[in-house]
Structure 1
Amino acid sequence: MTLIQTVDWAAIAPVVTVAATAVAVLLADLFLPEERKPLLGPLALAGLALSLLWLLPLRDGGRTTFCLTDSPALCSYVADPFALTVQLLVLGGALLTALLSMPGLRDGTLPRGEFWFLLLSATAGAALLPAARDLATVIIALELATLPAYALVGLRRGSRTGPEAAVKFFLSSVTATAVTLLGISFVYAGAGSLHLGEIATALPAADPRLATLAETGVALTLVGFAFKTAAVPFHFWVPETYLGAPLPVAAFLSVVGKTAGLAGLILVTTEAFPAFGHLWGPAVAVLAGLTMTAGNVAALRTRPEASGSAIRLLAWSSVGQAGYLLVPVAAASRADHVPGAVGAALAYALMYAAVNLGAFAVAVHVAGGARRHRVADYRGLWSRSPLTALAMGFFLLCLAGLPPGVIGLFAKIVVFRSAVDAGLGVLAVVMAVNVVVALVYYLRWTAVLFAPAAPEPSAPEIPAQAPAAAAPAGTATDTLPVAAPAGHRRPAVPLAAAIGLTALIGIVLSGAPQIILRLAADGLL
């Protein structure tokens, strides 16, 4: 028996390219003089763009590598349509996050080299996870996607909330990972293998005396992925982490981190534990209902007139959206609904990734001129920056599922139909109620965009005998605000590109919703 493996470098090229770019950025940061450090951003963008291009030769799927020499059918890396679709979402989301990050790196509060290295490292882990086909690779990819995120959250210099948010994120994540590793050990004890395909056949046929151990292992293994998707009760880290992290990092966690967690959950449930659908199916259905309800109710309490935080609202919105993403996973517990359910989950993830990153791009722009970044800071954005207001309104309506955000409506219909087809009528009703609840805060925020702008404070009248031109320094004329209010400034070029690109994706998908419908109908597993 030979132990020599043949590595298919083309299959792993997207992941390797991102990892190599991360190392290149780190090395370049060591040797570049300070005035040339801005070149690290374009280098990171180029690496992400190249990794996306590497997906094109793989679009037919079916490439495998790192296979066992005595069992070639058991491989640790599979570049199938499911993996490639998730990698497209992850790498595209990371590219947009990089565009969001470039304006904020100019003020020096974020170290450029460390930021780009950590962002690319987390992206490499998230891109590896959907192609992993054994639990060891899955957990390594999950941790590679998570560990750099701790540092990204607390990386901003001088932040009072960042370190605290990073610690909370770290402690809750470590706890979830420990529980997941315990579950994997139970699964290995029952199945005798870590490959997902072998677990699917060996675990149900394990010694009956290990039945309880196996079922416990199945339940515990899902905890780490529930944490990454921000499912209740593993969601408490989300609002504080989003508030303490730099806004682009919060956007990255809300899309790339969530997509990676969803992919891992789909792989483990449908590939390793299909025989235990009666166990994890109802559990995921309950998690989905609780998650969307908790997120939407909490978001509903964030009121514009009460100085509600825009980032906290986006955080709770992402929790609610995670509940919708979990609905098709619960539907996949029925063996005859797996392909369609997986397609529905990825279809919704595609819509959510595009419009949520667009909303964060607008938030990054508005935050540049707002001290507290409240929802009220968006009041009158239409009169100050019409295109930005139109884009934000479109993103919010997509998330709500209302025209002209047609893609959001179709994505919700696809998810709803997956629940109905799988016989999850109660979950479908819960989802319908939550969609109506979410309309309130999405429409409330949209109305703020087009509401009349609050009157700017006027300068005190200057006596006639003291002309303004002769007023000494330090008088009222010198204390008037000179910085442009939120939204008066034009978005920086990278931000404008991110807003335009995400809006274009949303418009194209709204004009051609058959892309979503075909993805849901064909399935990818």
Structure 2
Amino acid sequence: MTGSVVQSVDNVALLPAYLAAGTAVLVLLADLLVARARVTVATAALGAVATAAGAALVGAGDERRTFCVGPDCSYVFGGRAALVAVVVALLTLGVLGLSGPLLRAGRSPVGEYCFLLACSMTGGVVLGAAGDLITLIVAVETLTLPLYVLVGLRRGSLASAEAAVTFFVVSVVATTLTLLGAALLYAVTGGLHLDRIGALLAERPELRDLPLTTVAVALVVLGLAFKVAAVPFHAWAPATYDGAPLPVAAYLSTASKLGGVVALLAVVQRALPADVTGPVLAGLAVLTMTVGNLVALRQRRTVRLLAWSSVAQAGYILAPLGALALASGRADDARSAVYAAAVAYAVFFVVLELAAFAGVVALRPADADGGTVGDLRGAARRHPWRAAGLGLALVGLAGLPPGLAGLFAKVTVVRSLLGGGAGWLAVVVAVNAVIGLAYYLRLTATLWAEPVASVEPAAAGAGGDVGSPAVGSVVRARTVGAVLAVTTAVAVVIGLAPQLLLDVAAR
């Protein structure tokens, strides 16, 4: 028919998304038909492994595009999309391993828990390949929506319910802002594909100078800043992390934050003008890393300390994006290095953060909250290997050797900022990294400190979960120890070969 548009579907490009979505369906069927917790968890774990393998296989070849209208495509699966899909799938697998004590305690239904994790994984897999604003926003919400329920899924916990409501309300506001910004961008440009919007704004300066364009760009950036817990849109993170079950908090601080960073990077790199977004992101980065580090210094609860530290880490991730305005006039290699630094640092961070949460889970009683920093005092004297894994993760987050992954992450960001002409921002990152040493090393030193003679029962958690001596009745699940060992090993490996990760992130 004349004037019709013919679209072809590349099923190979969609294979990782098929595998992730199929995992969610199979988990539901396993829970319904077999009704055995081990089978349900095994189905989810095998699905996550298959998704990671499928993404790596598809991403190893040339970039694949589908759902295209002319040169504009809604789904682009290349090296970076494959990296994001693999990391999200492996994070899901790791969180499943950490969830064993929680699920065995019977506080959360196994079928619903695994199904929601698989649904969130599907959103993360699609997000890395999103080529238009609709696909991007739907993928972000598919990643985020199941987490509202996961946070509040623990039976009999007022803390989880409060955390879920807080997270839900803030996320709805963030989504509304992002959707409004996307609608205004469509009104200005008449397009939704990221590359098309970027080309139109570059070719027609009169569109970029419109007040409506400035408002649209600001709304999109600020809406996605909620997702990464950037200051001043961060207040939900500490309360939500501390109220959620520890494995869910681990997923929130890793996969969810990675998704927000990927979404923000996609619109900044391909659609929005760097001279507008650069100063905004630079300001957000400075505020985020500074406030996160300063408030983390005063924290006494373990999960809240990790939450505030993750806020500061988000500032380090945003810093390279803030240099885009200065790097926009430089060579393509300089701009590519800035983008690669943001992705690489995000991957470094999520691996170390998952290892840190795995260490906390391993050193806490089954189904307990994170407790206080004092609850971990002397843990290394009773459980040296588990404490060593947690200590290595904390040292890596601080950016010190022997945590080479964290060290190279900081170096990568600073080098990209200097190459992009943002030397002042590199100085701010270095100063904040020094501030962060105080609380990371304090928590690490606590693990090897002399234990007190008697430990009082920990104070009630944020909403009513009463803790117990952390080092007395310790979780002995093999899966938790395996997750801790694997994540610390991966951190060491990528720290030894950081350039490989940078090369993949730059694709």
Pick from 100, 107, 112: which aligns with 2:105?
107
Whether contact under 8 Å (2:303, 2:370) holds in the other structure is no
Distance 1:443 1:484, change over 3 A: closer
Residue 301 in 1 paired to residue 259 in 2?
Answer: no
Shift of 1:204: 4.2
Equivalent AA in structure 1 for residue 249 of structure 2:
A
Rounded Cα–Cα distance in structure 1 between residues aligned with 2:355 and 2:405: 14
Select which of 311, 317, 342 maps to 1:319: 311
AA at the equivalent of 2:476: P
CA distance change for structure 1 residues 401 and 240 in 2, over 3 Å: closer, same or farther? Answer: same
C-alpha change, 1:352 and 1:487, in structure 2 (3 Å) is farther
Residues 471-521 of structure 1 deviation map (CA, whole Å, 9 limit, x = unaligned): xxxxxxxxxxxx9852664631110110010111122233x2xx3234436
* C-alpha separation in 2, matches of 1:109 and 1:331: 46
Alignment match, 1:8 = 10
Out of 19-28 and 379-388, give the one that drifted further: 19-28
Moved more, 185-194 or 3-12: 3-12
Residue 24 of structure 1, aligned match among 22, 26, 29: 26
Q: Which residue of 2 aligns with 1:148?
A: 146
**Equivalent in the alignment of 1:476:** none
**What does residue range 58-457 of structure 1 map to in structure 2 within 5 Å?**
58=58, 59-68=60-69, 71=70, 73-205=71-203, 208=206, 211-273=210-272, 276-302=273-299, 308-333=300-325, 334-335=327-328, 336=331, 337-368=334-365, 373-456=371-454
Superposed displacement of residue 116, structure 1: 0.8
Q: Distance in 2 between matches of 1:187 and 1:253?
A: 29
Gap regions ≥5 residues in structure 2: 457-467
Deviations 1:205-258 (A, max 9, x none): 559377111121111111222111111111110000001111111110111011
Q: Deviations over 1:78-107 (max 9, x none)?
A: 111111111122111111111111221011
Q: Which residue of 2 aligns with 1:468?
A: none
- Which residue in 2 is equivalent to 1:502? 487
Q: Letter of the aligned partner of 1:486 in structure 2? A: V
Could you tell me which residue of structure 1 aligns to residue 56 of structure 2?
56
What is the rounded CA distance, in whole Å, between the counterparts of 1:87 and 1:522 in structure 2?
Answer: 13
Q: 1:417 Cα deviation (Å)?
A: 1.2
Cα displacement string for residues 286-334 of structure 1 (whole angstroms, at most 9, x for unaligned residues): 10010011111111012xxxxx110111110110111111111222342
The number of aligned residues is: 486
Q: Which residue type is aligned with residue 99 of structure 1?
A: G
Preserved contact between residue 107 and residue 155 of structure 2 (Cα < 8 Å): yes
Q: In 2, Cα distance between the equivalents of 1:188 and 1:297? A: 40
CA contact (8 A) 1:381 1:487 kept: no
CA contact (8 A) 2:364 2:475 kept: no
- Do the aligned residues in 1 keep the contact of 2:275 with 2:324 (CA within 8 Å)? no
Is the contact made by 1:191 and 1:206 (CA closer than 8 Å) also made in structure 2? Answer: no
Q: Distance in 1 between matches of 2:56 and 2:228?
A: 28
Q: Distance in 1 between matches of 2:454 and 2:14?
A: 55
The alpha-carbon distance between structure 1 residues 429 and 506, as it changes in their structure 2 partners (threshold 3 A), is same
Contact in 2 for aligned 1:21/1:120 (Cα 8 Å): yes
- In 1, Cα distance between equivalents of 2:179 and 2:97: 35
Contact persistence 2:344–2:505 (CA under 8 A) = no
Residue aligned with 1:158, SS: coil
Instruction: Tell me what 1:479 maps to.
Output: none
Deviation at 1:151, TM superposition (A): 0.7
- Listed one character per residue, the Cα deviations across residues 423-471 of structure 1 (whole Å, up to 9, x for unaligned) are 222221211111011000011111111111222479xxxxxxxxxxxxx
TM-score normalised by the chain length of structure 1? 0.89
- Structure label with greater radius of gyration: 1
CA distance in 2, matches of 1:522, 1:106: 39
Equivalents in 2 of 1:206, 1:291: separation in Å? 33
Residue 95 of structure 1 aligns with an amino acid whose one-letter code is L
Mapped partners of 1:399, 1:371: distance in 2: 22
Cα distance in 2 for partners of 1:371, 1:144 equals 27
The one-letter code matched in structure 2 to 1:332 is L
SS at match of 2:21: helix
Find the counterpart in structure 1 of residue 45 from structure 2: 45
Aligned to 1:467: none
Counterpart of 1:10 in 2: which secondary structure?
coil
Any idea what the Cα deviations from partners look like across 1:233-286, whole Å, max 9, x if unmatched? Answer: 11110000001111111110111011111111111011012xx21111010001
Q: The residue matched to 2:480 in structure 1 has which SS?
A: helix
**Cα distance change on mapping 1:386 and 1:204 into 2, 3 Å:** same
Equivalent residue, structure 2, for 1:466: none
User: What secondary structure sits across from 2:74 in the alignment?
Assistant: strand
Q: Do the aligned residues in 2 keep the contact of 1:340 with 1:523 (CA within 8 Å)?
A: no
**Distance between the aligned counterparts of 1:151 and 1:191, measured in 2?**
37
Separation (CA, whole Å) in 2 of partners of 1:347 and 1:138: 20
| 1:371–1:509 CA distance, 2 compared to 1 (3 A) | closer
Residues 254 and 523 of structure 1: is their aligned pair in 2 closer, same or farther, counting only changes over 3 Å? closer
Q: What secondary structure sits across from 1:163 in the alignment? A: helix
Paired with 1:202 and 1:17, the residues of 2 have a C-alpha distance of 35
CA drift at 1:60: 2.5
Mapped partners of 1:238, 1:522: distance in 2? 30
8 A Cα contact 1:190 1:203, kept in partner: no
Report the TM-score, using the length of structure 2 for normalisation: 0.92
Is the Cα–Cα contact under 8 Å of residues 364 and 470 in structure 2 kept in the other structure? Answer: no
The CA deviation string for residues 132-167 of structure 1, in whole angstroms up to 9 with x for no partner, is 000010111111111111111111100111111111
Letter in 2 for 1:128: V
Q: RMSD of the alignment, in Å?
A: 2.0
Moved more, 23-32 or 343-352: 23-32
Match for 1:500: what amino acid?
A
SS of the counterpart of 1:155?
A: coil
- Paired letter, 2:351: A
Distance 1:421 1:393 in 2: 32
Aligned to 2:465: none
C-alpha distance in structure 1 between counterparts of 2:16 and 2:320, whole Å: 27
